[in-house]
Structure 1
Amino acid sequence: MTLLRASDYKRMPWKNGGGETVEIAIFPPGSSVEDFDWRISMAAVANDGPFSIFPGIDRTLSILQGNGMALAIAAGDPLLLTMESSPLPFPADVPVNATLPDGPITDLNVMTRRATFRHVVERHSGPFSGEAAGNITLVLALEPLTVSTGDSKNRLEKLDGLLIEGGLSFVIEADQSESAFFLITLEHI
């Protein structure tokens, strides 16, 4: 297990230079936006515009804060993604244009290299118990909570993460009955 504190996340410019990304975790460690196998990040989006293109990458986007973002994927009709929406998976190597109908947002972005990894992103709330499926499960807290695995307990504050590897069972105890969090499963192909 690896505890990831929001205060330690790495900040960097977007690949297309249009904003800033906060990198939560990347594999292999030390890889760049050009050669990662998987990457989990957040971004503050303040303006309409195109997404960066990532050849051979699949991506899932979720809204963490704000009133939503409309995405036109591969010249399709725009889809409105809000905080209440399910995470939206789509290929990162097709043109995507984003518009902000009601102000800036912050998003959660999960990307995997299609040839080596696949991922699933789920939003949950309240108490939860499960097993770390796939190779890695990341718990990302949207509100304070505690994650227990066997004899270990980890306290997560807002936007902290916990990487759980190799099929460990875990229990999430929420501070409030509706405390929300994301479960991100990363599986090597």
Structure 2
Amino acid sequence: MSNLHRIPPSAYRRTRWKNDGGWTTEIARSDEDDFRWRISIAEIESDGPFSSFPGIERDLLLLEGNGIELDIDDATTRRLVQRFERVHFAGEAKVDCRLVAGPTRDFNVMARRDAVRADVIARPLVGSMVIFPERGAEWFVHAFAGTATARSAADTLVLETGASLVADFREGGNRIVLEGGGELVLVKFVAVAAT
């Protein structure tokens, strides 16, 4: 059985925010209801507060646009103006967002604190890279630009710009070789040990 699952952009779900300040395009989630993790792209069109997600750890990466400024609780204002700049914050934090100059698109990772830890990285793909199987881990790969081919012992999948894949190693599996050229956003989800 394959541990690779390709998600084409046609499968993403785009919804308008309740406050009418933008859009969320949900790319993937671990479970339909009470998710362990969720990945989306936000289109921020106007200044305003972020929704609260108690018990969730969040990562946000700037993808496109001139940037945003975030006031997170009482911390110093965080300014993201370079593509792939990232900020991490608690889902229950009070977050106010201001656009620097026009709308932005942002990559969002949500991880339920008591279930998984998320490691997020954006990087170029030039040639090849290897994702090694780690029992209990799940990997998400998003082709932000270019084309990537993912090969495992059982599958070969092609990701064009905008497509994604999930590699599930929770029950084991074979290493994955990514080859091609472009830019990727990768997220590794590791189960949090029960206490």
TM-score between the two structures when normalised by the length of structure 2: 0.86
Determine which of 23, 34, 53 is the counterpart of 1:20: 23
Shift of 1:53: 0.5
Shift of 1:150: 2.2
Q: Which runs of 5+ in 1 are unaligned?
A: none
Shift of 1:113: 1.0
Match of 1:116 in 2: 115
Identity of aligned residues (%): 34
Shift of 1:15: 5.9
Contact 2:63 2:83 in 1 (8 A): no
Contact 2:63 2:84 in 1 (8 A): no
Contact 2:130 2:176 in 1 (8 A): yes
Pairwise CA RMSD? 1.8
Q: Which amino acid aligns with 1:158?
A: T
Match of 2:177 in 1: 171
Match of 2:74 in 1: 75
Superposition pairs of residues 46-61 of structure 1, within 5 angstroms: 46-61=45-60
Measure, in 2, the Cα distance between the counterparts of 1:168 and 1:105.
37
TM-score between the two structures when normalised by the length of structure 1: 0.88
Q: Which runs of 5+ in 2 are unaligned?
A: none
Match of 1:4 in 2: 7
Measure, in 1, the Cα distance between the counterparts of 2:177 and 2:81.
27
Match of 1:157 in 2: 160
Match of 2:132 in 1: 131
Contact 2:148 2:159 in 1 (8 A): yes
Contact 1:21 1:42 in 2 (8 A): yes
Measure, in 2, the Cα distance between the counterparts of 1:51 and 1:13.
14
DSSP-derived class of the 1:146 partner: strand
Contact 1:9 1:24 in 2 (8 A): yes
Match of 2:183 in 1: 180
